[in-house]
Structure 1
Amino acid sequence: MLAIIGGSGLTKLSTLELVRREVVRTPYGEPSGALMFGKLCGTQDVVFLARHGYGHTIPPHQVNYLANIWALKQAGVSEILSVASVGGIRADLGPGKLVVPDQIIDYTWGRPSTYFEGDDQVVHHIDFTHPYDEALRQRILAAAKAVSEEVVDGGVYAATQGPRLETAAEINRLERDGADVVGMTGMPEAVLAREQDLPYAAINVVANYAAGRASSEHGIAFDEIEVVLQGAMARVRTILECYCEC
């Protein structure tokens, strides 16, 4: 069963044929919201979870990532697709671009980021060389190609703390570090999925140029972001539907 975690701009999946809604309790507290069980394209079993809550009330640094991933694992999902909005750092990654990243740099701090801690836990290291599952990445790319949606294959996602956006100087630093896009929710979500042996991949929607870049040189135009996300998320839904059919 496929899990889809929706971020800013995708708090619900309108094409999901809802079967049931389940409130889940976990040893790590409450997930961001109820799990929405249903079908896409009439055949694919899907669980949808809104990362920021269904009213978009949970900021990135307060998302209970531990509870979210644990709840999806207990629900019986076999793979997770994350959808998240980002800022474009690279010059060719402007508003509306879709990116399927292949690497992460983590700049977050203070977020619980492992299931393996506590007095009764043995130290456990996982391999995180390639944070995104390559098979899932290739399926996303194939689905996009099948519906003639242009996506960028690969990119480095910089995960920042939030909820504020970055300064222009911070974006310059991220660029020097090799980052292509910047967001606030990619970690520890990706590593927790790896700890639970759940293949994980992402579709990043570029909502705006990052601070100090192109049209964001003098500031972020928030009124333009919603328009960009509406159009881009419609394209993401098309890709997800094909992903489930392919």
Structure 2
Amino acid sequence: MNSIDDSQQIVGIIGGTGLGDSLAKRITDGELLDLDTPFGKPADKILVGKLGNNRRIAFLNRHGDGHKFPPSKVPHAANIFALKQLGVKTIISMGAVGSLNEAIAPGDLVLVDQFIDKTCKRTNSFFTDYGAVHVEMAEPSCSRLREKIMNVGKNIDGEHKVHCNGTYVCMEGPQFSTRAESLMHKQWGGDLIGMTAMPEAKLAREAQMCYALIALVSDYDCWKPHAPGTDKKVLLHEIIANMSIACNNCVNLIEAVLNSDHVLNGQDCICRKSLELAVWTDKNVIPQDQKEMMKVLFE
């Protein structure tokens, strides 16, 4: 059964516009919070309420109202910091991807365990003015949280699979890959290609939060040619249909996880101690105002 502490703590959910609409309809006792952080305002107001087994959740739309933020402009630092301010220690994130792996089909869900970060225009650390802070990223997703989500995912019926692992290549965008790039990403060992998971996962680790990403597969990336003469409108309709299926499956999976007896907030998890040995700068030379500003990350 849920521990008292776990049931009282709040779980963060990060998703896109379509997922937000689907989740919002299932959230009870909802309240929209307009927050600010030292890194600016998050992408949108945060919806705090209850979902599943009376779990408290904080939902944040990664791209903002009306999908106004393109991948390179998503305020990831503000998003993660705002959730931590609310007391979130565990984040379940979700995002659309293309598949680089024949075995991972459109409509499937993937619990990402590894990332290859190709982004170059984004603030990827909270500690740019704080000092030298180096967190471990060998296991960028929380294995404890992923295992609990997978245990629930095994019991969800449907023709589309929930894959227990996959490597996500995060590109800068906003353009999609060339075929040469797509083939290169496959050779690197990538299973998925997307534009939004980084530096979100890195910042969650710096904030000492347990983080898991559920990837929603919309299509095969351009490494796999379409049949000759395929109409672009038909292709777009297929992609939208795949996303609708994956979105519905993802929302059902998240609700099932929140309805489960699993303890999602693991205070003893290694993710919750990621800053323990990460600060290399002499603490005596770190400005006091910086210490105060970043205090929430060390909680």
| Fold match by TM threshold 0.5 | yes
Amino acid across the alignment from 1:208: D
**Tell me, what secondary structure is at the counterpart of 2:88?**
coil
Further displaced range: 130-139 or 13-22: 13-22
Alignment of 1:1-246 (within 5 A): 1-7=10-16, 9-12=18-21, 13=23, 14-41=25-52, 43-118=54-129, 121-148=130-157, 150-215=161-226, 221-246=235-260
In structure 2, distance between residues paired with 1:43 and 1:216: 48
Amino acid across the alignment from 1:240: I
| Deviation for aligned residue 1:4 | 0.6
| Deviation for aligned residue 1:165 | 1.0
CA contact (8 A) 1:18 1:36 kept: no
The percent identity for this pair of structures is 34
TM-score after normalising by structure 1: 0.94
Amino acid across the alignment from 1:128: M
CA contact (8 A) 1:9 1:229 kept: no
Amino acid across the alignment from 2:70: P
CA contact (8 A) 1:114 1:195 kept: yes
Structure 1 pair 11–37 and aligned structure 2 pair: CA distance change class (3 A): same
| Deviation for aligned residue 1:147 | 2.6
Amino acid across the alignment from 1:199: C
TM-score after normalising by structure 2: 0.78
CA contact (8 A) 2:93 2:212 kept: yes
Following TM superposition, the consecutive aligned residue runs of length 4 or more in structure 1 with deviations greater than 4 angstroms are 216-220
**Tell me, what secondary structure is at the counterpart of 1:11?**
helix
Structure 1 pair 19–182 and aligned structure 2 pair: CA distance change class (3 A): same
Further displaced range: 52-61 or 141-150: 141-150
- Structure 2, unmatched stretches of 5+, are 1-9, 261-299
Q: Number of aligned residue pairs: give it.
A: 244
Amino acid across the alignment from 2:178: T
